[in-house]
Chain A
Amino acid sequence: MSTIADRLIEDEGLRRGVSRLTPEKIEKVFKELIAGECGARLKTYVESCVRCGMCAKACHYYMSHKDPSYTPVAKVSQTMWRLLAAGGRVEPQVIYECAQVAYTECNLCRRCIHYCPLGIDTGYIISVVRRLCHKLGVTPQYIQDTAHSHSAVLNQMWVKDDEWPDTLQWQEEEAREEFPGLRIPLDVEGADFMYSVIAPEPKFRTQLIYQAAAIFNAAGLNWTMPATPGWDNSNMAMFTGDSEIMSRVERAHYETAQRLRVKRIVMGECGHAFRAVYDVANRWLGWKWHPVPVVHSVEFFWELIQQGRIKITHKYADPVTIHDPCNIIRGRGLMDKLREVTHFLCENVVEMSPNREHNYCCCAGGGVINCGPPFKNVRIVGNSIKAEQLRATGVHTLVAPCHNCHGGLEDIISKFGLGMHTKFLGDLIYELMEKPEAE
């Protein structure tokens, strides 16, 4: 069995971070964290784990490497248990190792909860390790940069206040060529819903905004997108452990919806953003539930289909398979709705196995893909089990309603030569929907 020390990867953020640490400083910050922020939950998990190893087969990293040091329990023993045993007084190098495990070898996918007889949430324990690493200033460079961006411009990709509405207007103009009179209604008070997306959409994947506008336009919906910051629903600060910035971003998101007097927020096809908005940051801000109802695209498309508002000319003929994104399946239970939407759109759906709440993670989520190039290989070779699972379906089209999943799965597809391509539900609906005749 290897240990994390055998596979350390150089990262500027981690290296510079630990260079500023001393065992005394680590001990102080660790003790403050445990006393101030970690209650019965951490204690119960740590004390109740019977070291049975039942969680091993839950984790795609372990299933891919078959090395026990990648099991959920080993991740905890190499981080939190080690820190607790030392009362937090460890050498800075230990923090480097903890950070590499926490940020790059766990997707916080929560699959292991389903395999642990005691229901231990390893993802939670690893989040606490990340919180510690954040407080110690030991975070991978690339994901830290996204947290900086969140703090400065309230979105993940340094999109400035003018670039956002300008991009929407440009997409609107393009879309009008195809759909005369189409609008992306900006900052319309009292619309039925506010549509929010993640920052990579205006930056790299503008066609997704175009497609959403085309679908909402065809369905005759009363919607709006904010013209101000608060439009980005993604939240990498949640994954670096910077709860304060996470919450600042979410406050802006919800206050924007409240200002626009919409009935609810509809979110694009992103899983981690849903987790931040629906589950994590809202609670840090003191709301028990979400102050404005939040609907993920999968659920929203399902509703539109139920209401007969999505009209397609034909079904997608090639067989497709479905990837279940952790944060909306284990996190929200959208597995049936995802299937109903996919079956509505596609002739032939081949299920992968295991699926639904037991689906393997894409290995990009939890901020892992955002740790950037130094760790790219970790998440690809760490998920050969996913490649096997995909290959076994024998299909070429993979439906994945999540941005991170797309990124992670595309890398796996290319590395393992699977000959597949990924699609968002929005891609399929746009492709299949009734469109005005070209003149």
Chain B
Amino acid sequence: MSFAQSWDFTPGARVVVDDLGKCSREYEWLEEPYVSPDGETVARVAALPDAEFSMAVGGEVWEETFDKIWYPRFSPDGRLTALVQSAGEWTMAVDGQAWETQFGYIWGTLFSESGDVIAAPIQADGQYGLAVDGQPWETLYENANQVLLSRDGKATAAVIQAKSLAQADIETFQQGIFSVAVNGEAWDAVFVNCWNPAFDATASRVAATVRRTLYDYTIAVDGKAWDGAYACAWGPVFNPATGQVAAPVRKAGAWGMAIDDRMAWEPRFAQLWQQAYTPDGGKLAAIAAVKFGEFTVVVDGAPWGVTFPVVTDLTVSPVGGRIAALGNAHNTDFAVLCDGKVWPGRYDMAWPPVWSPDGAHLAVAVERGGRFTVVCDGKAYPQSFDKCFAPAFSPDGTKVLIRAVADNKLHRIVAPVAAFTG
């Protein structure tokens, strides 16, 4: 059951916070508002007198205060997390409760899909790894980066530095000092580089891009590298149905898609990246440049008929095999691309597209002339705001939750899809 099933989806508009500057304690300043996924409350870092910091949630300041606080983020299940420092030590606070274990530093909070697991990369005494719900990996490393938490929250992984490197020691580096650790345990193999580790659907396998020499790029799955050597490669993804691994690879000056070390899409693209499978594994989509400077979406090797100077934010629907992305002209004139067609509106900025759970509808937060609104299936909500956060759909896909700020108030609007008429 998704957390959204407990949200209020009664159609209508409510002001849920009537003064975003409200704060139960005297404060020096309040930082950017973060709105809970259900749109019922807002959290802001509150700088209190005497260089103390805490979170103001709906205006109520957490009891505990800290020397520093940053990176407030709501978990998908509605818990508020923040990274906090007391007496020189850092940890995670969840709904005002700090984890017991403290670290030299903590950053980049990660959530499982349902939000039940919270993890973050940590540094303790100069050693690196991840902590999951407060529990650090048993083994930490000289460095760990490019961290990830599986969707089900059961596994974590990171690229780790397996061997020490003296200053400017290019020889040792080229012999390979990097690997991937899964739940803290490193692969046996080391590579010159490892990048972009990815889990399969059940978090039982991990694939990563690796460099075996300065020139030989390939993909390694659970530590075993493909035979094929490529001039370059971007991060891999698993087919959720078959477990096959797909990665964009470069050959003879052009990009193609390799699946399990075979060229599935011939190298004919000027760029190819951000590939994603539909959840049933039936389709593989990616962002590609069909020619220099002409970007589009490619589905199973076939490009859409429309190109933009820039395409970003490829998103696949949870069911139904639908695909959306954003196109723009050098960060202006944003357009929404959906199943090969372009919606009519053009915007100064657009945020990542959001699919309804049934894949029937698509909503996007957009900005034009400093005003924000939400567009659903190509039609705008007839009201604009000072700011809109990511929209969400009701579990049945018939209504859109708009979370917006206007006149220093937090508005929560539940609008049936039919209410988008603009």
Contact = CB atoms under 8 A, between A and B. Distances in A.
Interface of A: 12-13, 16, 36-37, 134-135, 137, 141-142, 144-145, 148, 151-153, 160-162, 165-166, 169, 173, 176, 180-181, 183, 185-188, 190, 227-229, 242, 244, 247-248, 251, 258, 261, 263-264, 283, 285-293, 372
B108 interface: yes
B123 A160 contact: yes
B107 A153 contact: no
Nearest to A251: B273
Interface in B93-111: 104-108
Given A161-B107, A228-B108, A287-B310, A141 B211 contact: no
11 contacts: A148-B173, A152-B178, A162-B123, A165-B107, A186-B71, A227-B70, A261-B351, A286-B292, A288-B309, A289-B309, A291-B331
A288 B330 CA distance: 10
A187 B31 CA distance: 12
Contacts of B171: 16
A208 to B, nearest CB: 22
B214 A169 contact: no
Contacts of A165: 70, 105, 107
B312 A162 contact: no
A287 B271 CA distance: 9
Contacts of A142: 168
Interface residues of B, number: 58
A169 B70 contact: yes
Interface string B163-186: 000011111011000100000000
B293 A287 contact: yes
Contacts of A137: 214
Contacts of B143: 152-153, 160
A349 to B, nearest CB: 34
Contact of A169 (B31, B68, B271): B68
Contact of B105 (A162, A258, A292, A372): A162
B105 A264 contact: no
Contacts of B330: 289-293
B309 A286 contact: no
Given A160-B145, A161-B107, A286-B293, A291 B71 contact: no
Given A165-B107, A244-B231, A263-B349, A286 B214 contact: no
Contacts of B387: 190
Contacts of A160: 123, 128, 143, 145
Interface in B40-96: 47, 51, 68, 70-71
B292 A288 contact: yes
B138 interface: no
B226 interface: no
B217 interface: yes
Nearest to A170: B68
B107 A227 contact: yes
A173 B67 CA distance: 11
Nearest to B142: A160
A349 B32 CA distance: 42
B7 interface: no
A153 B177 CA distance: 13
B170 A293 contact: no
Contacts of A228: 108
A187 B331 contact: no
Contacts of B39: none
A152 B206 CA distance: 19
A244 to B, nearest CB: 4
A290 B170 CA distance: 32
B107 A162 contact: yes
B28 interface: yes
A162 B193 contact: no
Contacts of B51: 176
Interface string B111-155: 000000000010100001000000000000001010000000000
Contacts of A248: 195
A152 B170 contact: no
Contacts of B173: 145, 148
Contacts of B189: none
Contacts of B104: 162
